[in-house]
Structure 1
Amino acid sequence: MIDVTLENFETEVIAASMTQPVLVDFWAPWCGPCKVIGPLLEKMEAEYAGRFKLVKIDSDQEQQLASAFGIRSIPTCILLMNGQPVDGFMGAVPEGQLRQFLDKHVPPADDAAAEAEDDLVEEPPLDAEGQLEQLQQAVATNPADDDARFEYVKALLLAGRVADARTAFAPVASKVAAVRRLDSLQRVLAAADFAAQQGQPADAIAAFDARIAANRRDFEARFGRASVLAAQRRWTDAMDELLEILMRDKAWNEDAARKTYIAILDVIEPPKPKVAEGQIPPDDPTVATYRRRLSSVVLS
């Protein structure tokens, strides 16, 4: 059961009803019959095990929503499917009548279980080369799909194929000012270009280390060191160096350290795993850790 307000109504009710029936219970704390049907509705939600979603709206606190649904007495329950109200009832109806109401609209238990099982069936994972081929085909099929292109360029960078990544990125280079994820790709490519100009990575890092030892606030040296590390795909080492800048000067060089840090997170974050309806996919532990570290430094 979820308490809904005007702020989360679109997500918790309209969007949610596109994938499962959503039963909206309009109630108020002073309403006696509401206290009778409320626990019954929660019991039904548990028994129906995901076949519908229950949300509650305090009609006193959310008068705009109550007015939008034409609520004149409470409790009133409205069932939405595909973003539209399809049925409803008023009053504290008995359990048998409530079951009849729900069974008219929600999928049968066997069908729901089968759908959930189908949703969790995973295809055999592709190897890295297979994933690249799949992404390349997606970009070739729809060159205007910036999301597919982002994933393709990202996969090329993770595979160390910088030249191919640069070629694949070229058609969307003009969009970096408007699309943050594309800006992230450009920043990682820029780090690779910078590193290529420094000669051998080990020699470049040694030179930057010497400069940093002489002046711990030599941010250009630290940023250069981070760029070389990123080009070697030593992603966490690169972010550690960028954090050293941020701890000393959060806004250095027009926010270059923070933006490059975020760019690396965008590139290394793996696709979210598929989970059952209503569950939240887990965050990648490395990405989650480094997001927290960035927040703690930037907000300190």
Structure 2
Amino acid sequence: MPDTLGGLRLAGAVPLDPKPAPPPPPVGRPGAGPAGAPAGAPTTGATGPVVVDVTEETFNDEVVARSMEVPVVLDFWASWCGPCKQLSPVLERLAAADGGRWVLAKVDVDANPGLAQAAGVQGIPAVKAVVGGRIVGEFTGAVPEREVRGWLDQLLSAVGEMPGGPAGAAPPPHLAEAHDAMARGDLDAAASAFQAQLAETPADPDAAIGLAQVELLRRVSGYDAGWLRQRLAADPYDVEAGLAVADLTVAQGDPATAFSRLVELVRRTSGEDREKVRAHLVGLFQALGDGEPAVAPARRALAAALF
């Protein structure tokens, strides 16, 4: 997949916590299509509906299984999110226009917090492309329609270049089990399945990346962002707070900033603290994989800081 599939991030995103009280639900117009779509717009394609609402109970069928046939684009949204109201109609309109070349799966983060956590969503609207049961690209925020169109075109082009398209070889059983567990938000089961795959195939990159992502999600779920930032304000070189804030920054879709801060922390520390920061940074590289554009320059910066 081209690196640029993951290149759009945090363009006007709204953090998930805290959030304002939800407004009353909008009243739909008779005869209208999905929210924001013109009346009468097609919502089905050759493979079925092109816009679907997804819950934790239907995720496996509507997203994982469907992504074996066509790309599925996840739209994480909430009724109180202003930028979501700008982006969702654009996605729905483009899905209808493409007539089933890809499926838009809409996830209400308030009703399905486990799905948002499993996907590492920290700000919305968050859009993630799933092919063959795996997230292959993403962006966050209400970006202009022309940029969304370009991102989709890159996704569809990349899928067309894959042997067998989305319906390629099924993942090994342990990886399939891990992906299902991630979809349910069961991080412990996902970790066990990834570890089982690594026990059988120690060099499996998907399992190694998956396990690193689970560990990142586990850490982030226990952080108090406000308290951590207060600690850093008091001491910019507080190692423990710096590592935790880097995790949060990566989870929010800004790995370049997180990596830059940790490289600077490597420069400013020594001994055990320096090794702790270095190891943490390498772990974040592992969680994102070499396909993340920010990883390669950060590796070079880390090497320069160490030597």
- TM-score, normalised to structure 1, is 0.36
For the pair shown, the structure with the greater C-alpha radius of gyration is 1
- TM-score, normalised to structure 2, is 0.35
